[in-house]
Amino acid sequence: MRVILRETVPNLGQIGDVVNVADGYARNYLLPRRLAIPATRKNIKALEKERQILLRKREKEKLRAESLAEKLAAVTCEIAKQVGKEGKLFGSVTAMDIAKALEEKGFEIDKRKILLEQPIKTIGEYEVPVKLHPEVQTYLKVKVVGA
């Protein structure tokens, strides 16, 4: 089934994209949640009129993400955890811990946007990738210290 996305859906497409999806996925997930509308001739014509508005909205989101990326690149996030022998942590530092530390500094970042491959388990300084927009990624300095 062809649908027009009304919102950005991860791993599927951006606002305004016309995509082919399974019928059940469209009927049971996308359409009831108003994430998409059927791609009929009438809807496609209406989409063409709104395309310019959507492009401007995407550009604004990208600019906002780029400015946030510049701010995040200058920030060092310090997280204190209990430490055992040889600098190993009791537990680990996860994306949620980093998101909470950023929230304390005034940044609202969703933990899913913090691309931490594996939890941090030792003391040190790390550069953690943060994907703020499909086209904007930055690196955040995370310093893990003993408490």
Domain extents for the chain?
A: 2-64, 70-146
Q: Which CATH architecture has domain 2-64?
A: 3-Layer(aba) Sandwich (3.40)
What is the rounded distance in angstroms from the CA atom of residue 72 to the CA atom of residue 26?
37
Q: Is the pLDDT score of 134 beyond 90? A: no
Side by side, which strands form the sheet with 124-133?
A: 76-81, 136-146, 124-133
Q: Which CATH class is domain 70-146?
A: alpha beta
pTM of the model: 0.67
Taking only the tens place, the pLDDT of each residue in 63-122 is 999 999 999 888 899 999 888 877 788 888 999 999 999 999 888 899 999 999 898 988
